[in-house]
Structure 1
């Protein structure tokens, strides 16, 4: 009797529905054709129904937890936290005694997840992202989810629906996005380390403007399984901490192959013990200062980064200026890939996209689908602009420019790889200017849109090429931090970390 009450996965369409669809697609089928097609669809519908009843894979939830609570404003001075919790992992491990904050684009089972946006409000995942299990297995203690930008589509820190995330150095300034809350939680000492996400600089931007270390690892080194995607070819997760050593420690815990659940990865990934390999021994390392990366930067940013880079000579490194003209095109190539790719993956693909092998979290996709349909007017201005522009481009130019961007990215990647045959790492300012003012009621919509992404000229290119890129603090100007970015060869994250650690040491020697 139970089978009589089963609801089919897909309801067979009527001839009228097929006729309307055929008109909208320009196929113009006859009624006789549509009846034949509908008859054949009965078998397809049964197949869809059969597969929908098979047991699917799941991500493990290993450690007990309670849902936690949303912090009140007086306990959330800089609006860094979306949700507070206390999830204790294993009794021992590499992260024993360490408190970890998690960007709210990463799923933690039983803890609300909003990804900075009203469209996901009320969603509670039933699974732990892979990196969450790894952190807990290593003895880490997860103490909350941190606020991020609306669907992570901003490099500033004012589009989160709960309000702006304030910079601890100057609360009138942006703390950077989109992983703003993660950086602020570490900068204020509320967490020892944090997880950020990076599709255009979103680990490195807030790390720079909050005076921290933050690494976007090589693409595919850290599994993205269980996190909300912007665009599958540029998604990265990585550590934010007060020191490069702590970044290295967290990276070695979360990195590694994820059993085929993440299409960004290869089975051959090797994960060394980064924390033991990070020393200040960089004698003989060749460091190239990318001339184009310094162009258009504030004078104090240029001078601080040049001073820090040249200071590495005291530790035995060879430092020289070099030119890489293609770098100036990187952010423009990134724009073509990211805008159109984000619309297809995040909006039309409900936060996960299509055409990739791996694990697809149904509940997160369904939450996206419901939210986008029910509350599109509640999306941030940055996201609305992206949807409108890419909708226009897709309707009138199909995927021509996305394809052009991906093709040009091949050339950009080759240009960096060629430079890295000569140099062990490349160096440039992380961001071209110090933290900017948060917008006020006096700012126009155009002002706000300009503030959202104008800082990413140096960070964004390495999201599409996948090279590891680390920011380290090299000083302050007018009480605001300045960061230096270090870029290395694919899967040579250890050299990037070594040079970053040496830069921290050199700063104290100067």
Structure 2
């Protein structure tokens, strides 16, 4: 059923669109609108087959929410057991997913109690491909999401420290050895930051290489990536090879995305003869000296293994921050207003997820964190003041900024820099006073902080970027980031694998 406002309500509704109706005009609109809505209601209520993608292993137990004795690092939202064939690239591997990735039959809350009880009826493409490759799906992970009603995951290296976000549960569970592979989402560093703080590997693939179908968009679809996290490069490579490739359900994939990739056959190729560029802008202040020293030591190890190392400058690494912001604010508003999976694409739209999120946003928007509300309000004012010009320019500048990285990557094979310029920090203490708590949350907006300064650029340019554990400072992980050419994800994995074999990897990745 549907509701229709009276004439006075229609006047107010039209005003939200900048349309001014006289009351007598609104009275004429009402009957015509009722007929239109009646047709839409009949269509949405009809029992037509919507052609949803096939769900593998459809006979699924619902699983359970683990208690604190089983989830010591608060990493899991839900545990289950689906699939797990004896053959395939991921046979014998346990795999989990950040909770923005839908798994049919398994509850999905996006860390908001307003969605408690929602169960999607589709598998994201990465879930389908993991199952097809023999992986055993074992659960959904905590994330720093819309609200954060389910608490903060704890860092196994020091539970008093942050895990990084937003794929926070994935980083914590991997570091604790509770799962082999976890898939996260990355729009500004949300795979690589928790990988860095938790001492695991995290890959933001080339844009479009891994399908985003069935994974919710955070702010701006042209920045969003799904990628694997793991403790070893071989597991990471297996995960990427199992899920990468063209998917006609993901309209963001551009011409040139292959049907699949092979990164395992070249994993042992070593680094001899490769050129590594130390990205100078990646070491900009503020940076902890221990982090800079640890990353440079890791690069020196690669040099001893036969790589050629030189310093290189890419000013675009810093300069593109304005263009990135120009996308995020209005992009967030567009996703909020048009629906969780966007608008206008010729693909399958997962209605169960879309309607659940839209219902939450329309009825519980006041539950959103202050920083998320800020992003929406800035987006609204940007649109009103600049009439789409900021968003358009931010997209249009992508070609030039991407070319700046491409020129650098024509001189060297990869760029090397810290993933993040500090070790995992302590969380801020939330004030008891409401206004003070709101003010703190506003100032924690990662869009306005330098924490993601080294990770956001490749979300904008689409280049692959890999976080690699490379040491510790006072027991806390340090992380090297490698940036490669488009679709050269395999080379990043090859370099990381050579490094993993050359160092005391367990000391870098295992909590003390």
The TM-score, its normalising length taken from structure 1, stands at: 0.89
Unaligned runs of 5+ in 2: none
Match of 1:82 among 68, 77, 80: 77
Q: What's the offset of the Cα at 1:214?
A: 0.8
**CA distance in 1 between partners of 2:468 and 2:122 (Å):** 33
Other-structure match for 1:322: 312
Other-structure match for 1:197: 185
**CA distance in 2 between partners of 1:167 and 1:12 (Å):** 50
Check the 8 A contact 1:214/1:238 in 2, yes or no. yes
Other-structure match for 1:160: 148
Q: What's the offset of the Cα at 1:90?
A: 3.0
Q: What's the offset of the Cα at 1:121?
A: 2.4
| 2:466 matches 1:478 | no
**CA distance in 2 between partners of 1:310 and 1:169 (Å):** 25
Residues 428-462 of structure 1: CA distance to partner in whole angstroms, max 9, x if unpaired?
A: 10001111101223595444444452310000111
Other-structure match for 2:195: 207
Residues 301-331 of structure 1: CA distance to partner in whole angstroms, max 9, x if unpaired?
A: 1111111112212222111001111111233
| 2:141 matches 1:146 | yes
Match of 1:281 among 270, 293, 297: 270
Other-structure match for 2:55: 61
Check the 8 A contact 1:89/1:137 in 2, yes or no. no
Check the 8 A contact 1:214/1:244 in 2, yes or no. no
Other-structure match for 2:497: 501
Other-structure match for 2:160: 172
- When structure 1 is superposed on structure 2, of 223-232 and 468-477 the one drifting more is 223-232
Check the 8 A contact 1:289/1:319 in 2, yes or no. yes
Distance 1:132-1:442 versus aligned 2 partners, 3 A rule: same
**CA distance in 1 between partners of 2:141 and 2:20 (Å):** 51
**CA distance in 1 between partners of 2:236 and 2:394 (Å):** 31
Residues 43-101 of structure 1: CA distance to partner in whole angstroms, max 9, x if unpaired?
A: 86687567644432212222121111111112111100011111124332111111111
Check the 8 A contact 2:224/2:459 in 1, yes or no. yes
Q: What's the offset of the Cα at 1:335?
A: 2.1
Other-structure match for 1:93: 88
Residues 305-364 of structure 1: CA distance to partner in whole angstroms, max 9, x if unpaired?
A: 11111221222211100111111123343222112212211x223322223332211111
Task: Report the aligned-residue RMSD.
Answer: 2.6
Distance 1:341-1:39 versus aligned 2 partners, 3 A rule: same
Q: What's the offset of the Cα at 1:265?
A: 1.3
Distance 1:474-1:43 versus aligned 2 partners, 3 A rule: same
Check the 8 A contact 1:103/1:145 in 2, yes or no. yes
Match of 1:261 among 228, 249, 255: 249
Distance 1:378-1:84 versus aligned 2 partners, 3 A rule: same
**CA distance in 1 between partners of 2:419 and 2:9 (Å):** 54
| 2:482 matches 1:489 | no
**CA distance in 2 between partners of 1:23 and 1:283 (Å):** 66
Q: What's the offset of the Cα at 1:219?
A: 0.6
> What SS is found at the alignment partner of 1:79?
coil
**CA distance in 1 between partners of 2:314 and 2:63 (Å):** 49
Check the 8 A contact 1:118/1:378 in 2, yes or no. no
Other-structure match for 2:228: 239
Check the 8 A contact 2:418/2:454 in 1, yes or no. yes
Check the 8 A contact 1:119/1:376 in 2, yes or no. no
- When structure 1 is superposed on structure 2, of 438-447 and 65-74 the one drifting more is 438-447
Residues 11-65 of structure 1: CA distance to partner in whole angstroms, max 9, x if unpaired?
A: 8888776655555545456789879878887886687567644432212222121
Match of 2:283 among 294, 311, 324: 294
Check the 8 A contact 2:371/2:444 in 1, yes or no. no
> What SS is found at the alignment partner of 1:123?
coil
Distance 1:373-1:140 versus aligned 2 partners, 3 A rule: same
Match of 2:119 among 117, 124, 129: 124
> What SS is found at the alignment partner of 1:167?
coil
Match of 2:323 among 333, 336, 344: 333
Q: What's the offset of the Cα at 1:210?
A: 0.6
Superposition pairs of residues 2-81 of structure 1, within 5 angstroms:
21-22=13-14, 25-28=17-20, 48=40, 52=44, 53=46, 54-63=48-57, 64-81=59-76
Check the 8 A contact 1:220/1:236 in 2, yes or no. yes
| 2:449 matches 1:461 | no
Check the 8 A contact 1:331/1:456 in 2, yes or no. no
- When structure 1 is superposed on structure 2, of 26-35 and 161-170 the one drifting more is 26-35
**CA distance in 1 between partners of 2:217 and 2:127 (Å):** 16
Other-structure match for 1:229: 217
Q: Number of residues paired by the alignment?
A: 493
Superposition pairs of residues 293-372 of structure 1, within 5 angstroms:
293-296=282-285, 297-345=287-335, 347-372=336-361
**CA distance in 1 between partners of 2:410 and 2:502 (Å):** 25
- When structure 1 is superposed on structure 2, of 171-180 and 13-22 the one drifting more is 13-22
**CA distance in 2 between partners of 1:84 and 1:25 (Å):** 44
Distance 1:193-1:43 versus aligned 2 partners, 3 A rule: same
> What SS is found at the alignment partner of 2:249?
coil
| 2:416 matches 1:427 | yes
Q: What's the offset of the Cα at 1:238?
A: 0.7
Other-structure match for 2:130: 135
Distance 1:15-1:212 versus aligned 2 partners, 3 A rule: same
